[in-house]
Structure 1
Amino acid sequence: MRRRGAHVGIAACLLGLLAGCNGAAKAPDGKPKEEASIPVEVAQAIVGPIEAAYRGTATLEAEDEATVNAKQGGVIEQILVEEGQRVRAGQVLARLETERLALEVARAKSALDKLEQDHRRNESVYQRNLVSREAYERTKFELEGARAAYDLARLALQESEIRAPFDGVVSLRHIKAGNQIQAGSPAFRITRMDRLQAQIHVPERDIHKLAAGQKATLRVDAWPAKTFAGEILRINPVVDASTGTVKVTVAMTPEQPELKPGMFGRVEILYDRRERAVLIPKDAVVTEDAQHSVFVVQDGRAHRRAVSIGYSDADHYEVLSGLVAGDTLVITGQSSLRDDSKVEIVNAPTAAPDAKASSVAAQDGLQG
């Protein structure tokens, strides 16, 4: 009897708990409470163009740049150009003292003149068989050696002038007037400013999306409001085994004087464009465990829906599947939602912001 009484007591308690739970879901007048609406902001999926691009960073380099070395040693007598000055190919940049070299030329010329006279005299007597062929050949070889010595002396005198190898700008001067310089020592650096390049390194898995001739743009911190044009000049055929990347060289379009060698910039290479893509704001996408989903609002309730994402730009994702243009999506308040939650739209359900006609990928790397 005691055990049966205990069982009856437990049952009564359970019934009381259930009654209390049911009572918590009811208003004081006994009617069930209405489900609370969660405030959200929404936008609509639209159709628009989107472009995909590779984005990387690079330092601008001059295609033609050379360190001009002194071909002769000596004392710097005269410097004719300064840094920042434009020069032409073959223009004299500096001169060494030439007194000793000029004397060498004069001595070599004198020796040459003497041997030319000796050779002409021997040639005359040789034709009359008054001198041996051996003596004649000896003076002939001595004359050729003297001519070579004279040419070398003249060349040394010419090389006392340091000349520009090509058209460009003097980007660095290493020498000072009056200083001694050794043969082979650097004197100037000449840079061709109108042929600039940017080299980026693209992962090998993405290199098939790029090709020579594709258009590229460059932005630099010195000119944040400007975009500079270029195109892919070449793609290295070899993959760097240590990094798994391929070097891609972008040639900047000439006549962009704002660009200077050494500038750090951000390169974007467009590789695809879709004119009629379904676009949604980036804020609408919820990503969990590499899976993308959105909340679609229908009849006042939010339904979670998985989507497949394609290209992206600074503001939008392209949706490959899961949505159609015109679907209303939650862009603010997703953290409070569950599937089939009741929502209250607090903004006008307008279309998502218009997609840019020439949008580019804002994230680093290739999308899609």
Structure 2
Amino acid sequence: MSRISFTLGRTGVCAAALLFSTTLLMAGCKSGDANEQAAKEGDKKEEKAADAVPVEVAKASRRAVAASYTGTAALEPRAESQVVAKTSGVALQVLVEEGQKVHAGQPLVRLDPDRARLTLAQTEAEMRKLENNYQRATRLVDKQLVSAAEVDQLKFDVENARAQYRMAALELSYTTVVAPISGVIASRSIKDGNFVQINTPIFRIVDDSKLEATLNVPERELATLKAGQPVTLLADALPGKRFTGKVDRVAPVVDSGSGTFRVICAFGDEAEALQPGMFGRIRIDYDQRADALVVPRLALLEDGDPAVFRVREGKVARVPVKLGYAEGQWVEVREGLKEGDQVVTAGKVALRDGTQVQVIGEPQAKVEAATAIAQGDEGKRS
């Protein structure tokens, strides 16, 4: 009896040990499976993070934006004059040089006046002689010693002589060439001692006190551009400087050949550094919104209707937008976005609707925190 009990006791101990070993083995298998599953989930997350497309983003914000028309044109002086000699003669003295400012009526060059003076003296003597004859005739006509016809002829001769005298005096005044307008001497083509022919250009004067730029604008802008609107000019020759002016006048006639009309912009004393002939980029502002929702131009997609990629929760969505005014690097969004929305500005080529993205420059702590939360959720489910 005791032998049987001992045998059963040993058998029970063995069975218990076997059961305990089996339990440990199963627990180890389950633990291994869980670890393997966690490793696989981690690999999937890493692969998912690796598949995210890096992008740069900007937020939709509010700022003032102006509606404008831009174009290019060369600057021209408001007034320009080719100074010509109205009489012939030797240039005795050239009084101005290139680049010198002059005012209207200022002497520029003196020509030899001797011939003109002799002519004036001759015509003056002839005029005095005829005037004396006419006065004697008027006294004798009452005594019937001179006919009325002779008096009329003498009167005509006197008037003719006076006209010749005034012509000779005018010729003498032409020996001093004066500036017809105020401005700056742009060119000079004579020197002291040169013989100057009549009607020969000898100076070029430009009025640089007010410069103009003429734009040929498409006819669709005819209703928007008006005289008095503000103008901004950037000159290639003066980088970094901005000059302001205004629309001086608008030609109301559209050229049928080109479909354009002329808009003349004027720049006055506030643009002293500008010079005639300079080439500039001109912007005419014709409207402005003080609080417009804008995004960078770079955010706009190039294909199809206006749209952007909006970023939310690590994914992008293609969002159609309605655009308004554009100014510089900004474009107004009238519909489709709200303030604070993130839009992709760089990396758009590789994106499709729903693509997973990683924002360049996003704080790494946020990414790690999101990863930790995701791993904690997975542990709870296990």
Question: TM-score w.r.t. structure 1 length?
Answer: 0.82
1:115–1:85 CA distance, 2 compared to 1 (3 A): same
Structure ranking higher in helix proportion = 2
1:39–1:27 CA distance, 2 compared to 1 (3 A): farther
CA distance in 2, matches of 1:108, 1:92: 26
| Secondary structure, aligned partner of 2:158 | helix
In the alignment, which of 320, 328, 348 is matched to residue 334 of structure 2?
320
CA distance in 1, matches of 2:89, 2:40: 110
CA distance in 1, matches of 2:101, 2:213: 23
Shift of 1:245: 1.2
CA distance in 2, matches of 1:29, 1:122: 136
1:296–1:164 CA distance, 2 compared to 1 (3 A): same
Structural mapping, 1:101-140, within 5 Å: 101-140=116-155
Is 1:347 matched up with 2:361? yes
CA distance in 1, matches of 2:156, 2:359: 104
| Secondary structure, aligned partner of 2:150 | helix
Is 1:182 matched up with 2:197? yes
Is 1:338 matched up with 2:352? yes
Greater CA radius of gyration, 1 or 2? 2
1:126–1:37 CA distance, 2 compared to 1 (3 A): same
Asked whether the equivalents of residues 189 and 203 of structure 2 are also in contact (C-alpha less than 8 Å), the reply is yes
| Secondary structure, aligned partner of 1:209 | coil
CA distance in 2, matches of 1:32, 1:348: 22
Opposite residue 143 of structure 1, the aligned amino acid is V
1:40–1:219 CA distance, 2 compared to 1 (3 A): closer
1:114–1:224 CA distance, 2 compared to 1 (3 A): same
| Secondary structure, aligned partner of 1:78 | strand
1:295–1:127 CA distance, 2 compared to 1 (3 A): same
Asked whether the equivalents of residues 244 and 270 of structure 2 are also in contact (C-alpha less than 8 Å), the reply is no
Q: 1:182-205 CA deviation, whole Å, 9 max, x = no partner? A: 221112112222111111111111
Alignment partner, residue 275 of structure 1: 290
Alignment partner, residue 141 of structure 1: 156
Structural mapping, 1:288-303, within 5 Å: 288-289=303-304, 291-303=305-317
Q: Which has the higher contact order (CA 8 A, sep 6+)?
A: 1
Shift of 1:135: 1.6
1:113–1:346 CA distance, 2 compared to 1 (3 A): closer
Opposite residue 286 of structure 1, the aligned amino acid is L
Question: TM-score w.r.t. structure 2 length?
Answer: 0.79
Figure out how many residues of one structure are paired with residues of the other and give that number.
323
1:348–1:29 CA distance, 2 compared to 1 (3 A): closer
Q: 1:24-51 CA deviation, whole Å, 9 max, x = no partner? A: xx99979995654333332221122211
Shift of 1:348: 3.1
Is 1:85 matched up with 2:100? yes
Asked whether the equivalents of residues 194 and 255 of structure 1 are also in contact (C-alpha less than 8 Å), the reply is no
Opposite residue 328 of structure 1, the aligned amino acid is Q
Alignment partner, residue 38 of structure 1: 53
Structural mapping, 1:183-198, within 5 Å: 183-198=198-213
Structural mapping, 1:231-242, within 5 Å: 231-242=246-257
Q: 1:259-314 CA deviation, whole Å, 9 max, x = no partner? A: 1111111111111211222211223221213x222222223322221112222233
Asked whether the equivalents of residues 294 and 331 of structure 2 are also in contact (C-alpha less than 8 Å), the reply is yes
Opposite residue 309 of structure 1, the aligned amino acid is L
| Secondary structure, aligned partner of 2:317 | strand
Alignment partner, residue 318 of structure 2: 304
Shift of 1:141: 1.4
State the superposition RMSD in angstroms. 2.3
Shift of 1:250: 0.5
CA distance in 2, matches of 1:253, 1:330: 43
Opposite residue 304 of structure 1, the aligned amino acid is R
